Chains A and B, each alone.
Chain A
Amino acid sequence: MADLLTAEGVRKEFGGLIAVNDVDFVIPERSIVSLIGPNGAGKTTFFNMLTGVYKPTAGTIVFDGHNVTGKPPHAITERGIGRTFQNIRLFQNMTALENTLVGMHSRLKGGILQSVLRTPGLRREEEGARKKAHELLEFSGLRGRDDEFARNLAYGDQRRLEVARALATEPKLLLLDEPTAGMNPQETADFTAFVSKLRAEQELTVLLIEHDMRVVMEISERVTVLDYGEKIAEGTPQEVQRDERVIEAYLGTAAVT
C-alpha cells in the first residue's frame, strides 16, 4: 500500500512552547490510523497543521503526492482531506441538508452570475447536489432529518452530521477529532461500527484522535502515541499497548517499575 500522507519533521512552536516536536508520521492508503496521547500531548495541534488551520514552524506535509505544507484550509480540503472538530462546530442555524451542501462547496462550480440567472446547468448541479446530500445524510444515519436545524439535533446526531458534512467534501482522508467524546457506550459502539463501514463502503483512509482505548484498539491498524509533542511509540495496537514508554506516559513511572 502506498502512503497517502507523509509528514516529516513537523514542528509547531507557540512562542516558547513546543507543541509538536519534529514528528514523522505516515498514513498508508485505506487504513485506519489512530493518534493517541495524554491531554495536551499536541494531537489536535498536529491535526490542525494537517488541515491548514495552523502553519507548521518546520517540516513538510505531503498529501497524495502534493506538498500541502502551510496551504490554506480550503485548498487542503479541495485536495481531499475532510475533518470533524473536537468540540462540534456545525453551522448551528443551518439545516442538516444545508450543512452538508456547504461541505460540497469545493466540488460545485456555480458562480455568482449563474446563480442569479439560474441557468439550466446550475439547476442540474444544485439538484444533483441536493440528492447527494440527502443520500449522505441517510448513509450517516440521519434519515428524515434533512430540514432540521443543526442546533436542534441530538448530540450523537450532531456528531454524525459533522461526519456527513466532512464526507460531502469528497475526502480521500478523513480526520476525526475525538468523535466519541461525550457519547454513551451504546452510541460509541454504533459510531465505531459506522467508521468501519465508512472505510469499507467509501474506500476512505481514516485518521482518528481518540481517548476511548476500546475504540482505538478495536478499529485501528496502526497507533501513534504522542507525549509532550513528541512521538514516543508507533505500531499495531498490541505493540503499543505493551510499550513501556506508553504505559509510563499514561500511568506514570511507578507503573513501569
Chain B
Amino acid sequence: MDIRDAFRRYRPGFERETTRRAKRAAIAGLPAFLILAVTGSMGLALIIATIVFIALYVPAWDSLPLGHWIVTLSVILLAVLYPFYYPNLFELPIFGAFPSVDTGVTMLIYIMMALGLNIVVGYAGLLDLGYVAFYAMGAYTAAWFASQHFSNVTFHLGGVGSFGEKSSVPGIHMTIWLVLVFAGIFTALVGIIIGFPTLRLRGDYLAIVTLGFGEIMPQIANNGDNLLGYNVTNGPQGINPIDPPGFGNTLHNAVGLPSDYLSSPTSTRLFYWTALVLVLFTVFCSMRLRDSRLGRAWIAIREDETAAAAMGVPLMRTKTWAYAAGAFFGGIAGAYYASFKSGTFPGDFYFNISVFILCMVILGGMGNIWGVILGGAFLSYLNQEGLANIGAWMNANGVSDAVFGHDIDVPLYTSGIFGVILVLTMLFRPEGLIPSSRRKAEFREGVSDEPLYDVQH
C-alpha cells in the first residue's frame, strides 16, 4: 500500500475532524480578533502567530499516519527557538509582552513539578496537599552536594562551574548532572518513607496527612541549623550560593560545552534549554508510565480500590510507586530550581506552593499531560509576570480608578486570584482545560468507590 492509499484511508475522518476544529477555532478566534482590533495591536507578528496556530491546531494531524509527530515536533521546535524570536513578538493586549526567557525557566520548572504531581493526583488519584515537601527535598539535596555548606570537607566530583576544578574550595561540589540524579533518587526515597504510613489512608484522610508532611518540611528546614548538633539546613538564612550547572573546564576545552552557565554570556538561554530537556524527559517518562502495567494499575486504583485489589493489584506497593515517581520528578525540579536561583531558603517551601502546583494540575486537566503543561505554563506565567502586567495595564488605562477608585497592586492579590480561577474551573469545567477522556467522564458522571474494607493492606 503506498502513501496515497494510506492517506485516502484516513481521509474521511481527517476532513470531518478538521472542519470541526476549524469551526471551534473560528468561534474562539472571533472574540480574540475583535479585542485585538479594538486595542489596535495587529502587527505582522500577530499574523504569523495566527498562521502558526491554525497550521498546528486546525488540521486533524493525529488522524494521519505519523501525524502526531508533526505537531509534537513543531511545538518542541517553537519552544526551543523561543529565546531567539520572543523579542520580536507583538504585545498582547492586557497581558503585555510575552514572557522573558528568565520567566520561561521558572515556568518550565513548575511544569515539571506539575507533571510529577500529575502522576500522584491525576493517574493514581491520591490527593497530595504536601507536594512542596518533595520540591524542598530536591532543593536541599542540591544545596548539600553542590555548595560550600559542608565546609569542613572538601570533595569534588566531575566538572563543576567556575571553581569546580580548583579543589581547594571547601564543601561538597558535585557536577549538577549527578546532583539532579541524586536529588531524584533521594526524593523518591523520601516519598516512599512518607508514603508508608500515609498511603494506608483514603481520600480526605490522606489529603490531611500529606498536608501535615508539607507543613513539617519547611519547619525542619527552618530549624535545621542545629539538628542533633549538626547544621543541616543552615536555618532561616538558607544555603547559598549553590553551584550553577555546567560541564566543567575539561569538556569546555575539548568540545566547547559551557564550563559553567553563569559565566556564559547567554546563561539564561542555557538554563532555559536545560529546563526544556528536563520537561521533555518528564513528559516522556509520564507517557511511558501511563501506558504501562503500572499505569493501568494506578488508574484501576483511582477508579475502584477494592476491585483493583481483588484483581491482584497490591495497593500499598502500587500507590507507593506513584508517590516515588511523583517525588522523583519533584526532586529533580527542586534541585534544578535551587541551582538556577543559586540558593535555597525555608521560606520557599510553604503550603501555598503545594496548592499552586495542585491548581496547575486541576486547571489543566488531571491525568492529561498536555493539559497539565498548559495549566502549569499559564499559572506560573501569571505568577511571574502576567499579574504584574495586567495590573500595570489596569492602572495605566484607568480601569483600577474606575472600579476601585485608586491604583491597585494586582500581584498582591495573587492567592485570591488563583482561588477565583480554581472556583471558576470547578464550576464551569471541572475536568480541566484539556481533560483526558477518562477523567472527563468521571467528572460528568461521577465514580463510585465505596470502601468495602475493614482492614487495609
Q: Which of the 9-residue segments B150-158, B226-234, B448-456 touches chain A?
A: B448-456
Cα separation A5 to B210 with both chains bound (whole Å): 41
With A93-B442, A94-B438 as known contacts, state yes or no: A105 contacts B454, CB within 8 Å. Answer: no
- B residues within 8 A CB of A108? 293
Cα separation A105 to B445 with both chains bound (whole Å): 27
- B residues within 8 A CB of A74? 309, 312-315, 457
With A53-B452, A74-B457 as known contacts, state yes or no: A106 contacts B312, CB within 8 Å. Answer: yes
Check A115 against B288 for contact (C-beta < 8 Å). yes
Check B312 against A151 for contact (C-beta < 8 Å). no
Cα separation A107 to B441 with both chains bound (whole Å): 29
Check B299 against A94 for contact (C-beta < 8 Å). yes
With A55-B454, A91-B300 as known contacts, state yes or no: A105 contacts B311, CB within 8 Å. Answer: yes
- Contact of B310 (CB < 8 Å), options: A51, A92, A101: A51
Check A53 against B304 for contact (C-beta < 8 Å). no
Most chain A CB neighbours (cut-off 10 Å) among B303, B442, B453: B303
25 residue pairs from A and B, CB less than 8 Å apart:
A51-B310, A52-B457, A73-B306, A74-B314, A85-B307, A89-B306, A89-B307, A90-B304, A90-B307, A93-B437, A93-B442, A102-B297, A102-B300, A102-B313, A103-B312, A105-B296, A105-B300, A106-B312, A108-B293, A115-B294, A115-B295, A118-B288, A122-B292, A126-B293, A169-B312
Given contacts A55-B454, A89-B304, A116-B288, 11 further A-B contacts (CB under 8 A): A70-B455, A74-B314, A92-B447, A93-B299, A93-B303, A94-B303, A102-B308, A105-B293, A115-B293, A116-B292, A166-B311
- B residues within 8 A CB of A54? 454-455
Q: Is A255 an interface residue (CB 8 A)?
A: no
Cα separation A204 to B360 with both chains bound (whole Å): 49
- B residues within 8 A CB of A70? 455
Binary A-proximity of B418-457 (CB < 8 A = 1, otherwise 0) = 0000000000000000000111011001010000111101
Cα separation A49 to B453 with both chains bound (whole Å): 11
- A residues within 8 A CB of B312? 74, 77-78, 103, 105-107, 169
Q: Is A194 an interface residue (CB 8 A)?
A: no
**In chain A, what residue has the closest Cβ to B315?**
A74
Cα separation A92 to B440 with both chains bound (whole Å): 12
Cα separation A105 to B289 with both chains bound (whole Å): 15
Check A72 against B309 for contact (C-beta < 8 Å). yes
Check A101 against B306 for contact (C-beta < 8 Å). no
Q: Is A165 an interface residue (CB 8 A)?
A: yes
**In chain A, what residue has the closest Cβ to B303?**
A91
Q: Is B321 an interface residue (CB 8 A)?
A: yes
With A72-B457, A78-B312, A105-B312 as known contacts, state yes or no: A112 contacts B307, CB within 8 Å. Answer: no
Check A73 against B438 for contact (C-beta < 8 Å). no
- B residues within 8 A CB of A149? 441
> B129 to chain A: closest CB distance in Å?
24
> A112 to chain B: closest CB distance in Å?
6
Q: Is A227 an interface residue (CB 8 A)?
A: no
Cα separation A178 to B47 with both chains bound (whole Å): 64
**In chain A, what residue has the closest Cβ to B440?**
A93
Cα separation A107 to B443 with both chains bound (whole Å): 32
Contacting A at CB under 8 A, from B61-89, are none
Q: Is B325 an interface residue (CB 8 A)?
A: yes
Q: Is B277 an interface residue (CB 8 A)?
A: no
**In chain A, what residue has the closest Cβ to B455?**
A55
- A residues within 8 A CB of B292? 110, 112, 115-116, 122
Q: Is A60 an interface residue (CB 8 A)?
A: no
Cα separation A166 to B284 with both chains bound (whole Å): 32
Interface contacts (Cβ under 8 Å), in number, total 119
Contacting B at CB under 8 A, from A79-129, are 83, 85, 89-94, 98, 101-103, 105-108, 110-112, 115-116, 118, 122, 126
Q: Is B285 an interface residue (CB 8 A)?
A: yes
Check B455 against A77 for contact (C-beta < 8 Å). no
Q: Is A241 an interface residue (CB 8 A)?
A: no
- A residues within 8 A CB of B308? 91, 102
- B residues within 8 A CB of A94? 296, 299-300, 303, 438
> A235 to chain B: closest CB distance in Å?
30
**In chain A, what residue has the closest Cβ to B281?**
A116
Q: Is A48 an interface residue (CB 8 A)?
A: yes
- A residues within 8 A CB of B457? 52, 72-74
- B residues within 8 A CB of A107? 312
> B314 to chain A: closest CB distance in Å?
4
> B35 to chain A: closest CB distance in Å?
37
Cα separation A93 to B439 with both chains bound (whole Å): 8
6 nearest CB pairs, A to B:
A72-B457, A106-B312, A115-B292, A77-B312, A93-B438, A73-B309
Cα separation A75 to B293 with both chains bound (whole Å): 17
Binary A-proximity of B4-27 (CB < 8 A = 1, otherwise 0) = 000000000000000000000000
> A214 to chain B: closest CB distance in Å?
28
Cα separation A149 to B440 with both chains bound (whole Å): 13
Cα separation A118 to B295 with both chains bound (whole Å): 13
- A residues within 8 A CB of B309? 52-53, 72-74, 77
**In chain B, what residue has the closest Cβ to A89?**
B307
Cα separation A183 to B310 with both chains bound (whole Å): 24
Binary B-proximity of A55-78 (CB < 8 A = 1, otherwise 0) = 100000000000000101111011
Check A112 against B321 for contact (C-beta < 8 Å). yes
Binary B-proximity of A159-183 (CB < 8 A = 1, otherwise 0) = 0000001101100000000000000
- B residues within 8 A CB of A168? 311
Check A77 against B285 for contact (C-beta < 8 Å). no
Most chain A CB neighbours (cut-off 10 Å) among B307, B315, B439: B307
